[in-house]
Structure 1
Amino acid sequence: MEWLEDLVDYLTEHDIKLATAESCTAGLIASELARVPGSGQVIDSGLAVYSPEAKNRYLGIPFETISRYGLTGEEITREMVLGTLNNSNAKLAIANTGIAGPGEPEDGPPKGTVCLGWGFRYEDKIYVITTTEHFDGDRNKVRLAAAHHALKRVCDWHRDIRDGKLAPYWREHD
């Protein structure tokens, strides 16, 4: 749990509040961070948004986008990140979609595939990063591994943004 404490310290030091939109992990990212005393200072909100209707209602993702790309993919994860930033005052949004199991889907990505997204507000710009990862194990091992991976990447992505290694997705006020 020490790395979670370090993350809370980092977020506190940099005045970063987090909001999540979680499909595959169903709130586990926010829940894992909440294990740390004092984490309430850095958590804005957490949504578990499984269904297309929830993604549309709470994050503003058009049904046409969901129909075009499906529920699991970096395109949807990016839209989830942007919807989370648009509907919160958080400086950091983490979102995910994926296939945790238990069975192997007939079509689409294999079990253990999780698309993760991070969105940062930094100096009046929005930065969005998405990746597709694969985690082994049963349903709950995949979910926990994905939640931990999402949290463990926060400091590195933030440093890359601060150091000018990542280009902004857009400027907030343009």
Structure 2
Amino acid sequence: MELLKRITDYLIDNELRLATAESCTAGLIFSELARVPGSGQNIDCGLGVYSPQSKNRYLGVSYDTIERYGLTSEAVSGEMASGALDNNDADVALANTGIAGPNPGDDGTPIGTVCFAWAFRHNGDHHLYCETRRFDGERNQVRLSAAHYALERLPHYHRLCLESGAKTDKA
């Protein structure tokens, strides 16, 4: 609960409004954060988007991207985060897609592989950061670990966004 409170405070202190686009975690990021009293003032929405069709329909993820890189890819998670940021009233969007189990992906992607993306809107610019991690455990342990990891990394990527913006402002 300490992580969730810390992230809620971070969102409030930095006046950030959050949207999530979740495949692997199926809304768990949104749900976990909502456990904190007062978090609702900085949460815009949480989207659970499992199928390629829902990723395309709600977030604008290209079928070409899915075909070229696979559903579990940073390219797909990046388009998910960008779509969530662009289609909602948010300053930051978290997205993920992955394989929680019990079986590996159709393309052989190992269980526990999760691709994340953090998208920020700052000073009129769009900043996107992606990474892939692998988590151990059974299905729901992978989902919870992935949800907490996405939240835990939000301040790190937000600071990179701010630093990038500061360098741009000085140029």
Normalising by structure 2, we get a TM-score of 0.93
**SS of equivalent residue, structure 1 residue 137:** coil
- Report the residue type matching 1:93 in the other structure: A
**C-alpha distance after superposition, 1:20-77 (max 9, x if no partner):** 0000000000000000000100110000000011011101122222222221100101
The answer to whether the 8 Å contact 1:52/1:71 transfers is: yes
The answer to whether the 8 Å contact 1:72/1:97 transfers is: yes
- How far, CA to CA, are the matches of 2:34 and 2:95 in structure 1? 17
Structure 2 portions without partners, runs of 5+: none
Deviates more, 1:61-70 or 1:153-162: 61-70
Aligned to 1:125: 125
Aligned to 1:98: 98
Change (3 A) 1:105 1:77: closer
Instruction: Say what the alpha-carbon RMSD is for the aligned residues.
Output: 1.7
Aligned to 2:29: 29
- How far, CA to CA, are the matches of 1:167 and 1:83 in structure 2? 26
Normalising by structure 1, we get a TM-score of 0.91
**SS of equivalent residue, structure 2 residue 164:** coil
Aligned to 2:7: 7
The Cα shift of 1:164 comes to 3.1
**C-alpha distance after superposition, 1:2-32 (max 9, x if no partner):** 2211211111111100000000000000000
The answer to whether the 8 Å contact 2:122/2:165 transfers is: no
- How far, CA to CA, are the matches of 1:67 and 1:106 in structure 2? 13
- How far, CA to CA, are the matches of 2:19 and 2:93 in structure 1? 5
**SS of equivalent residue, structure 1 residue 164:** helix
The count of residues paired between Structure 1 and Structure 2 equals 168
The Cα shift of 1:166 comes to 9.6
Structure 1 portions without partners, runs of 5+: 169-174
Change (3 A) 1:141 1:167: farther
- Report the residue type matching 1:155 in the other structure: P
